[in-house]
Amino acid sequence: MPEQIAAIATDLIASLAPLKGVRVIAAMSGGVDSSVMAALLKQAELDVIGVFLNVWDYSRDEVNRHGSCCSLEDAYDARRVADHIGIPFYSMDMREEFRQNVIDPFVADYESGRTPNPCERCNRFVKFGALLDAADQLEAQYVATGHYVQRRDAADGIHLFKGNDSKKDQSYFLATTNRRQAERILFPVGSLEKDATRKLARYFQLPTAEKHESQDICFIPAGDRIVFLKREGASAGFRGGDIVDTAGNRLGRHQGIAHYTLGQRKGLGLPDGPWHVVALDGVTARVVVAHPEDALISEVDVEDIAWIRPPESDETIAAKVRYQMQPAACAFSAENGRIHLSFDQPQKPTAPGQVAALYSGDELLGGGIVSRAT
């Protein structure tokens, strides 16, 4: 087994060899994935600068931060890894950018009835937005991350593919990354299974080798979204209203649409179930529900489009409009900077504010943000 891990490390280092001496920013979160990523870059003799993004004032959170990413503990772990592998390390203050591009839209979406995807916005605006700007200032050609996504360079440019570990594939969260950004991003661990990443961390004797994986949204204490939204003043999301079916029949009352997400089926407390939430109206404060067979969707409109590689006219397209789903075959049309998806088979509901990722086979073509689903 040690020989197998050594062979994997040798192959990955060899794949990075053409970039020897090139300056790269290693986006270090303090987790095992980004730690192994940075170690591989260093072993391949790139000019590596470790960077931790300080995005949130965790001194405000009077809770145990265990299990969430980007905490003060994570900053300490990232620095320990950088010291261990022998690279310079900096902590960058991204709190203003994070507030403007992630926190404020997150709160506004829950007040209006949308269901935001903060990880997507963090990738688009902070990790691959502001961090690439910082790379320019440091004269770095690339930014590298621990995402489970595969990059392949070809004569016609770069292509991004799903990670080999289907359970850890993170291509969905990069669907709104544009081609200009994608050309400057490296994914050294993207071809690995999670178990192999952990074994490589042990092989490199990294301080984070046994660290538990983060689960929570990084800025929400203990995963309690409601406490966070109330603290952030999302009062419109906590205005009481009616729960109705699609015909407008009143089934009950609620204490605010922020308590619900589209597709939700648990905790509704309604008779004659099961029910699924199919609409949230921030104007009337209504929660609309339907029985499962009536909650399926076939049509999705998508805005804020970004392409890594636009599809060919005759290319077969599949779309993923929730993280926990397999890409489903669909027809595709584009007009005025928006796209319309029509699924071949009805799908479980998604919510405005979620990511729509478009694929051709395992290749990520691009995507955008769901604006309507019916």
Query: pLDDT of 24-45, one tens digit each?
Result: 999 999 999 999 999 999 999 9
Q: Residue 197 and residue 204: Cα distance in Å, rounded?
A: 11
Amino acid 71: pLDDT: 67
Residue 60 has pLDDT above 90, yes or no: no
Give Cβ neighbours of residue 307 (< 8 Å, ≥ 6 apart). 178, 179, 365, 366
- Quick check: 353 and 114 in contact, CB under 8 A? yes
Q: Is 69 a catalytic residue?
A: no
Token digits of residue 38: 């940075």
Tell me the residue length of the chain: 374
> pTM, whole model, 2 decimals?
0.90
Amino acid 321: pLDDT: 96
Residue 261 has pLDDT above 50, yes or no: yes
Q: Residue 151 and residue 308: Cα distance in Å, rounded?
A: 11
Instruction: List the catalytic residue out of 69, 70, 119, 218.
Output: 218
Whole-number percent of the chain with pLDDT over 90: 74
- Quick check: 19 and 46 in contact, CB under 8 A? yes
| Residue 188, φ and ψ in degrees, nearest 5 | -60, -25
According to DSSP H, which parts of the chain are helical?
Answer: 2-16, 32-43, 72-85, 95-98, 104-112, 118-121, 131-137, 179-182, 194-203, 225-231, 292-295
pLDDT band at 61 (very low <50, low <70, confident <90, very high): very low
- Which structural domains are found in the chain, ordered by start? 2-146+188-222 (3.40.50.620), 239-294 (2.30.30.280), 296-373 (2.40.30.10)
Query: pLDDT of 117-132, one tens digit each?
Result: 998 999 888 888 888 9
Sheet with 89-93, edge to edge strand ranges: 89-93, 47-54, 23-27, 142-144, 185-186
Q: Is 70 a catalytic residue?
A: no
Give Cβ neighbours of residue 65 (< 8 Å, ≥ 6 apart). 58, 71, 72, 73, 221
Measured CA angle at 310 (ends 309, 312), to 5 deg: 115
For the chain, give the mean pLDDT.
91
Token digits of residue 163: 């990670």
Cα–Cα distances in angstroms (integers) from residue 354 to residues 7, 109, 116, 260, 303, in the given order: 39, 11, 6, 14, 11
